[in-house]
Amino acid sequence: MNGDEGMSNRIPDEKVELIRRSSDIVEIISDYVQLKKQGRQYIGLCPFHGEKSPSFSVSPDKQLYHCFGCGAGGNVFSFLMELEGFSFIEAVRNLGDRANIELPEATIHSGSVDGPLVHMKTAHELAAKLYYHVLTLTEQGAQGRDYVKERGFTKEQMEHFQIGFAPDRWDSLVTILKKRDYSLETMVQAGLLGERESKDGYYDRFRNRLMFPIWDGQGNVIAFGGRTISDEKLST
């Protein structure tokens, strides 16, 4: 077990969840991105890739962000981890300080193995493996393979960076997460899935995109960057 995992075992999930609920994602992201209210969402220029037209959306209702240009998405923790390079624990402590919530230094959380935060982490790893498998070994990934070949990516680069492809389907990741008994509601909080407006099901948040895993300092996949390979706008 590495040092960061050891620290994560000393922060109860309920304390982390309290910090998440106490942190307004719009307020946090506004420190980095100029946001403008548009309907129920806030939009701005994505901080993760260069763009001239805003495609970065923040949902105060769901407390999630998503870029329709590069595919980046997640919650308030993953935003700081991706933008600031924080580890998960550093992001939790940073937001805890902002919210004036004190974190215990040495409280062992015996239930951490089954905690939702661990499920979010393992789900990102599972998603990365799925996307890599789709790109390299399936017919669904043929379009992605043509794309990376045209862009000059080598097989070694694809393997080293674990580049993958999210197929143009609504339920590829949903199906696998269901089979592995993941809480799909938790996967929405993790930024991997979306919940239908009718509340009658879930859908893959990433579709028809080349996927680039983003790792923390301990080598854990904590988010994804994505690039659409078509001009077709995705809708939910």
pLDDT tens-digit profile of 51-61? 888 989 998 98
pLDDT tens-digit profile of 204-215? 988 898 998 887
Distance CA 54, CA 71 (A): 13
- The arithmetic mean of pLDDT across residues 93-111, rounded, is 69
Residues with Cβ within 8 Å of residue 228, at least 6 apart in sequence:
69, 71, 208, 209, 210, 234
DSSP 8-state secondary structure symbol assigned to residue 83: H
Same-domain pairing of 127 and 223: yes
What's the pLDDT at 105? Answer: 59
Same-domain pairing of 84 and 122: no
Q: Which domain holds residue 106?
A: 1-111
127 neighbors 173 (Cβ within 8 angstroms): yes
Task: Answer whether residue 234 is part of any domain.
Answer: no
What's the pLDDT at 74? Answer: 80
Q: Which of 17, 67, 75, 64 is nearest to 47 (CA)?
A: 67
Total domains in the chain come to: 2
Mean pLDDT score of the chain: 81
Which of 47, 80, 111 represents a domain boundary (last residue)? 111
Same-domain pairing of 96 and 144: no
Residue type, 55: S
- The arithmetic mean of pLDDT across residues 231-236, rounded, is 40
Cα end-to-end distance, the chain, whole Å: 39
pLDDT tens-digit profile of 27-58? 999 999 999 999 989 999 998 888 888 989 99
Higher per-residue pLDDT: 116 or 124: 124
Partnered with residue 195 across adjacent β-strands are: 202
With vertex at residue 69, the alpha carbon angle to CA 64 and CA 72, rounded to the nearest 5 degrees, is 40
H or E stretch at 134: helix 116-137
pLDDT tens-digit profile of 143-188? 999 988 888 888 888 888 889 999 999 999 999 999 988 889 889 8
Task: Answer whether residue 207 is part of any domain.
Answer: yes
What's the pLDDT at 217? Answer: 59
The residue written with tokens 């077990």 in the block is 1
pTM above 0.95, yes or no: no
48 neighbors 70 (Cβ within 8 angstroms): yes
DSSP string, 14-51: HHHHHHHHHS-HHHHHHTTS--EEETTEEEE--TTS--
Same-domain pairing of 72 and 153: no
In this structure, the chain runs to a length of 236
**pLDDT at residue 110 tops 50:** no
pLDDT tens-digit profile of 188-198? 888 899 888 88
Task: Answer whether residue 235 is part of any domain.
Answer: no
Same-domain pairing of 59 and 139: no
What's the pLDDT at 107? Answer: 39
Task: Answer whether residue 139 is part of any domain.
Answer: yes
Which of 76, 92, 111 represents a domain boundary (last residue)? 111
Which of 87, 111, 135 represents a domain boundary (last residue)? 111
Same-domain pairing of 12 and 97: yes
Distance CA 112, CA 32 (A): 32
Same-domain pairing of 90 and 153: no
Higher per-residue pLDDT: 123 or 231: 123
Same-domain pairing of 24 and 53: yes
What's the pLDDT at 108? Answer: 33
- The arithmetic mean of pLDDT across residues 132-146, rounded, is 92
135 neighbors 158 (Cβ within 8 angstroms): yes
Same-domain pairing of 105 and 35: yes
